[in-house]
Amino acid sequence: MQKIPSDIAVGSDLEMFLFDNEAARVVPCVGILEGTKDKPFQPKGYGKGFAIQEDNVMVEFNIPPQTNVDGFINAISKGRNMVLKELHNRHGSKYSVYTAKHVNRFRGVELTSQQAQTIGCEGDFDAYEGGKMRVDPPAPGLDRSCGGHVHIGGDFRCPDFVAALFAELFIGVRAQLWIDAKDLRAKWYGKPGIYRPKPYGIEYRTPHNGWVNDSYQMQRVGDGALRCARYLTTTDAVSLQASFRKVPWLMVRDLMREGATTDLGQELWHKVVGEAKRAGVPV
């Protein structure tokens, strides 16, 4: 992919379920708002980079790239309010957004539209497989899940899959975005080390949208992303390569799957963080 010069920055596209306040349940966002992946809707009164789109049965909003953590948190809050305002302008108090869970099972009759059957606009890549593109995603059936993807910008001095592994360390591990093996997303879209290369850097796609529910977690994600971007941009390629070889990456993957709440997870946490710091990585 052709890369373009990029500032050190963090952004996000967040998917959320739509809640019907009258029916008191999650419903598909199909034809309720507007905007698509190819043509996002930009409401008036918001700056460049803020946009809304219907993604499958979820509502998604985009924010412009931010160069500091406070800007990141404020942009996410502004984006969420943008969605709520647009819903109110179009439908009064009928709808709100729902982030209390990131997986929902819909009724078959709700998923008959082409939009509800269109999943994954681009291919994903697996950093633990050296950046191999993944194919043949499993059929989701009646279940849908919301992503909390993190975009990281910078002129990285390493391949994309290496940047994604460091993102796993700085964001996934550092912000403790653990993966529940029983979670639907963990079977494909939320597996460790999933990313997409972007002209400005990478999109780290493993996390679901749960981190958006409190400002402290948003702070950890934004700070981790900016630390990662700064490290990958300001460290020379030889030093990056040397550090990369010393980090126990398979242990990082095991930690993402286990979490740090069990005895095994605690042991993995101390080993991973210790080895990363000894390798010169400022986690």
CA dist 207 and 2 (Å) reads 26
Residues 163-175, mean pLDDT to the nearest whole number: 97
Residues 137-162, mean pLDDT to the nearest whole number: 95
Strand ranges inside 135-254, DSSP E: 143-145, 148-153, 194-198, 201-204
Residues 247-270, mean pLDDT to the nearest whole number: 95
What does pTM read for this prediction?
0.96
pLDDT at 115: 92
pLDDT at 2: 77
pLDDT at 5: 81
Q: How confident is the model at residue 244 (pLDDT cuts 50, 70, 90)?
A: very high
- pLDDT tens digits, one per residue of 30-45: 999 999 988 999 999 9
pLDDT at 32: 96
CA dist 214 and 198 (Å) reads 27
Q: Is the pLDDT of residue 187 over 80?
A: yes
Count, residues in the chain: 283
Q: How confident is the model at residue 139 (pLDDT cuts 50, 70, 90)?
A: confident
Give the other-Cβ count within 10 Å of 199's Cβ: 11
Torsion of CA 237, 240, 246, 251, to 10 degrees: -130
CA dist 33 and 161 (Å) reads 35
Q: Is the pLDDT of residue 121 over 80?
A: no
Strand ranges inside the chain, DSSP E: 9-20, 25-27, 51-55, 58-62, 95-98, 103-105, 125-126, 132-133, 143-145, 148-153, 194-198, 201-204
CA dist 142 and 110 (Å) reads 9
Q: How confident is the model at residue 120 (pLDDT cuts 50, 70, 90)?
A: low
Residues 255-277, mean pLDDT to the nearest whole number: 95
Q: State percent of the chain over pLDDT 70.
A: 99
Tell the burial category of 257 from Cβ atoms under 10 Å away from its Cβ (0-12, 13-18, 19+).
middle
Q: Which amino acid does the sequence have at 56?
A: N
* Contacting residues for 191 by C-beta, under 8 A, at least 6 apart: 126, 179, 206
pLDDT at 138: 84
Q: Is the pLDDT of residue 1 over 80?
A: no
pLDDT at 182: 85
CA dist 145 and 112 (Å) reads 17
pLDDT at 37: 87
pLDDT, the chain, mean: 95
Token code pair at residue 267: 């042991």
Q: State percent of the chain over pLDDT 90.
A: 88
Token code pair at residue 174: 């550092």
pLDDT at 167: 98
